Amino acid sequence: MVSATSPAENRRVALLTLGCARNEVDSEELAARLHADGWQVTTDGEGADVVVVNTCGFVEKAKQDSIQTLLAAADTGAKVVAAGCMAERYGRELADSLPEAQAVLSFDDYPEISARLNAVVAGEAFDAHTPRDRRELLPLTPVNRRDAAVSLPGHGTPARVTAETDEHTPAHLRQVLRHRLDTGPVASLKLASGCDRRCAFCAIPAFRGAFVSRTPDELLAEAEWLAKTGVRELVLVSENSTSYGKDLGDPRALEKLLPQLAAIDGIVRVRASYLQPAETRPGLVEVIATTPGVAAYFDLSFQHSSEPVLRRMRRFGSTDRFLELLASARALAPEAGARSNFIVGFPGETRQDVTELVRFLTEARLDAIGVFDYSDEDGTEAAGLSGKVSAATVKRRYDRLSALADELCSQRAEERLGSTVEVLVDSVADGVVEGRAAHQAPEVDGSTTLVAPEAGGVDLAALRPGDLVRATVTATEGVDLVAVPDEMISAAPGAAR
């Protein structure tokens, strides 16, 4: 039998990541820890000794996807380990209901991930944790949280230090604890983890914990490292990016950080995401809208626009206040992109509330709209609220709002016909060049297909992932654009031409 602490040389581990971009960053931290201990790290479960599924536990559909992925991984014959949000949220309950998984890990296991997987390969029994509210593990006062000995995925420090570094070495000179699992030109950069908000429908703070920012020097060091691996666009992620810096004593920290990230050699675009409307200050709007290299892009978590519904959700705002926020951004950057998600069927939602939401969507001119039908989530305040909307009514409202969203987003795309956009090339395959304009975030907001110009312009055949080109929009397909590249703004380094 191999010891749980023995080297993992020649062992192969597959990391399968579900859910949001924050989970992707967490997986790359796990990959770095495992790679440092000799594991061969891959994202392909075929032939792996262990498959680690970084699960999502946000809503019921995500949980079902996680279960199906775990079961499919077990069919490969590999040892299967559940990690991530669903594993943290349910712990022993998940382990008891899913014997196909040899282990269910907590975030507290992440610093010792290699030892945990060695034990799994050796056939050792693993006792899953009993879930707890991770907010209670950190001090109530935000500025006191950084000194607490609590595992924060995506905030780790290397388990090993080199001869040139020790615990006193400044962050920008330390080894970056990240191993990329994707070679594309876009990468997420995790600003913080956890959340201090108490939205009635959301269980995330209970299993992700209280809000903790990473320091600017840590983020700049990781961003420089990502740029050296070929990353051209940074997507800043967290549970609530507008809270960044409040525990560092600087509520304007994000406003200061964005220009610094945009100035890093090799980075051509920085995109902020997960903005809370109630915390989006005028100074931050101005920085996002006017800073060269920062996408004029506003990923705003509205969730609804009817004031009574927002109050029941324990959120703030209204149709008019949200429209004013969007107008302030467009006054600085008329072509600014904006997206949001909305929940229909929240307890107590009336026909009047839906009418108010329709008014907002119709006037907001959003580029991308996500519509979700409300369902009770265990452990949330909303699950115990009265005034539940019937399932049939929720479905009817969801279908209506989804159809409206598709129509409105298509209209917004058509407004961009004839405009000039800056497109970052994501992929080139079989002669098809796909990229994204500044108003299009990866995976969620549509894309731009580049087509050959009739004369002049940029040679389509010469384009490579990571190139940034200026292009003219000539057609639309739903939220997607078709554009002709007019000139190269910045060529990806190292690509043969």
| Annotated binding residues for [4Fe-4S] cluster | 20, 56, 85, 195, 199, 202
Binding site residues, as ranges?
A: 20, 56, 85, 195, 199, 202
How many helices (H) and strands (E) in the chain?
Answer: 13, 18
Phi, psi (rounded to 5 degrees) for 109 = -85, -15
Do strands 420-429 and 432-436 pair parallel, antiparallel, or not at all (unpaired)? antiparallel
Pick from 479, 488, 16, 444: which is nearest to 237 by CA? 444
What span, in angstroms and rounded, lies between the C-alpha atoms of 69 and 45?
11
Phi, psi (rounded to 5 degrees) for 123 = 85, 15
What span, in angstroms and rounded, lies between the C-alpha atoms of 295 and 269?
6
Cβ–Cβ < 8 Å for 80, 92:
no
H helical segments located in 282-341: 282-290, 307-312, 319-332
Q: Which amino acid, 220?
A: L
What span, in angstroms and rounded, lies between the C-alpha atoms of 333 and 51?
46
What span, in angstroms and rounded, lies between the C-alpha atoms of 311 and 315?
5
Sheet of strand 368-373, all strands in order from the earlier edge strand to the far edge: 297-299, 337-344, 368-373
SS3 434: strand
Cβ–Cβ < 8 Å for 412, 366:
yes
Pick from 107, 108, 222, 102: which is nearest to 173 by CA? 222
Pick from 451, 441, 442, 492: which is nearest to 471 by CA? 451
H helical segments located in 60-179: 60-74, 84-90, 92-97, 113-121
Instruction: Report the Cα–Cα distance between both ends of the chain, in Å, rounded.
Output: 53
- For residue 100, give every residue at least 6 positions away whose Cβ sits within 8 Å of its Cβ, in sequence order, or none: 70, 71, 74, 80
